[in-house]
Amino acid sequence: LPGTTNVCHTSPVGPQIRAATMKLAGAVALLLPAACGAFAPRAFTASAPTRSVLQSTVEDETSSAVPDRVAPDAKWVPDWEDRAGLSPDVFMESDMSKSDLSGMWECPLTRWDSDGIDVKKAQAQARRQPKCPLEVRAKPSDNEAGMAYFEKNRDRLRGDLLKYGAVWLRGFDLMKDVNGYREMHEALGLEPCLDPLHSSGLRKFASERDALYEEVNKPSLRGHYIGLHCESTAKRTAAYAAFVCFQRATEGGGRFLVADGAAILAEMDPAVLQKLYDREIRISVSNLDIPPAFPGPLKEGIKIAVDKAVAPKFDMDLEMIYESDGKPGRLQAVETAESPINRHPVTGLPVWFNNAHNHARKLRDRRPCGVPEVGMTEVFYADTMEPLSLEDCQEIKRASESCITALAMEPGDVLLVDNYRALHGRDVFQGDRYHAVSWFTWDDNEEWRGEERRIVEKNGMNKVINQMMDWLPKDFESDQS
């Protein structure tokens, strides 16, 4: 690399650069990017705050300097129905007579349309939207019809997805296994694509030939609360998703979280929303702590090595910046500036479209977190690169969690998500849990979809980083909040 050849090859600190580069590869992999008149399903009840289930993480200003870690609130908490599922050897068996989908479409580029938004008018428009998600409960006749139900109701369900932002398909027997799940989304005409962070190793495939990713079920992340986010980066965003439950958590927890980006926009304090829109945000996705005593040329050599050798592998527009969060010696990989509000590509509806609820360090430090320090994220004001204030984080948290429905997803349940409209997350859980997801590109717009397909031979980074996930060191000490 220009300017670093002597450092890397003749100095005894060369191995330190190479080790640091490998460490950041794991760090970027840990990004947890990468996030709706009113409809009230029968089983949904408004949730009063309770510390036994989902409780606010914003403590009183006079509380201890070290914040408590408690799981956030949800506005709606449907009841469990205790429906039985199939055994893993049955629900994961793929139909080998079907075509192999492993050469699926690349995740499409993000559709940005965020200029010239009148925040107050956008909030007024957002308040007129129906509640998200829409619940569609299977009747006995629907289960008897199987795949034919989805073929017959394709246009209606696709229309509801656009209208409500998410559709909860509840109590369907067809999707209790991989094959029925695939029949469902193929009947709806959805075209699978890669996860926008496929090479990061965040998710491994549950069934690669069926274009099905495993959700975050890793034992090491059971105790990690995943905040609200769209499955997107500043560069790539999946158009739609279908989250499926094959096995609910065996010992409790694991509710799937969903919230309408329009509802969050409508709920947020107008002054805070205007401030964030005017200043825009940037998100750091990883930390590499270099000893502050390292000489400047060595630190610069590490920065160049990481920027040239590691960052491009993750298909994200990243800038390597030292000490943006104030910690001496810390090198952070930071995404480009983006608006927290975006217009929906199809409907034009302005929505809250960003991952601040998941990525803000001041919120992560106040709820259950199982991410190594190297993978901890932060959200900055783009104009000054200062971390968001606690007050602004509190408002993001309040507005977001007032719109969350904590779904009781059971075997066969699927949540269809418009990824430009609804945000999703996951509560902590105990025992074993098996949820999975497929991402989908634009099936009716070739220009937006693009012509790229997955090159299967380039899947090595995904597999390597998946093996790193469980042994990366955990360090949850933080003075950033």
Q: Which helix (H) or strand (E) holds 118?
A: none
Segments in 199-334 forming alpha helices (H): 261-267, 270-279, 296-309
Position 341 pLDDT exceeds 80 = yes
Position 12 pLDDT exceeds 70 = no
Choice between 318 and 338, residue whose per-residue pLDDT is larger? 338
* Residue closest to 86 by CA, chosen among 6, 1, 155, 178: 178
What is the mean predicted confidence (pLDDT) over 364-381?
Answer: 90
Segments in 116-253 forming alpha helices (H): 119-127, 140-145, 147-152, 154-164, 178-187
199 close to 235: Cβ distance less than 8 angstroms: no
112 close to 243: Cβ distance less than 8 angstroms: no
Q: What is the pLDDT of residue 287?
A: 87
- In tens, the pLDDT along 81-131 reads 999 999 999 999 999 999 999 999 999 999 999 999 999 999 999 999 999
**Which of 29-38, 57-66, 107-116 is the least confident region?**
29-38
Where would I find the beta strands (DSSP E) of 195-348? 205-207, 212-214, 226-229, 240-247, 256-260, 281-289, 318-322, 330-335, 341-343
Q: Count Cβ atoms within 10 A of the Cβ of residue 289 and give its class: 0-12 exposed, 13-18 middle, 19 or more buried.
A: middle
Name 253's bridge partners: 429
Percent of the chain with pLDDT over 90: 68
- Alpha-carbon torsion, ordered 329, 333, 337, 338, to 10 deg: -130
Q: What is the pLDDT of residue 70?
A: 86
Residues 6 or more apart in contact with residue 119 via CB below 8 angstroms: 270, 273, 274, 277, 341
Position 17 pLDDT exceeds 70 = no
57 close to 70: Cβ distance less than 8 angstroms: yes
Confidence of residue 220 (pLDDT cuts 50, 70, 90): confident
* Residue closest to 139 by CA, chosen among 171, 183, 184: 171
Q: What is the sign, positive or negative, of the torsion defined by CA atoms of 164, 168, 172, 178?
A: positive
Q: Is the peptide bond before 196 cis (omega within 30 degrees of 0)?
A: no
**Which of 41-55, 57-71, 144-158, 325-339 is the least confident region?**
41-55
In this structure, the number of other CB atoms found within 10 A of the CB of residue 69 comes to 15
- In tens, the pLDDT along 162-182 reads 999 999 999 999 999 999 999
78 close to 407: Cβ distance less than 8 angstroms: yes
Choice between 15 and 300, residue whose per-residue pLDDT is larger? 300
Q: What is the pLDDT of residue 451?
A: 94
357 close to 424: Cβ distance less than 8 angstroms: no
Q: What is the pLDDT of residue 279?
A: 98
Q: What is the pLDDT of residue 459?
A: 52
Tokens representing 4 are: 């670093």
In this structure, the number of other CB atoms found within 10 A of the CB of residue 442 comes to 20
Percent of the chain with pLDDT over 70: 79
* Residue closest to 223 by CA, chosen among 436, 50, 474, 396: 474
Instruction: Give the separation between CA 323 and CA 25, rounded to whole angstroms.
Output: 19
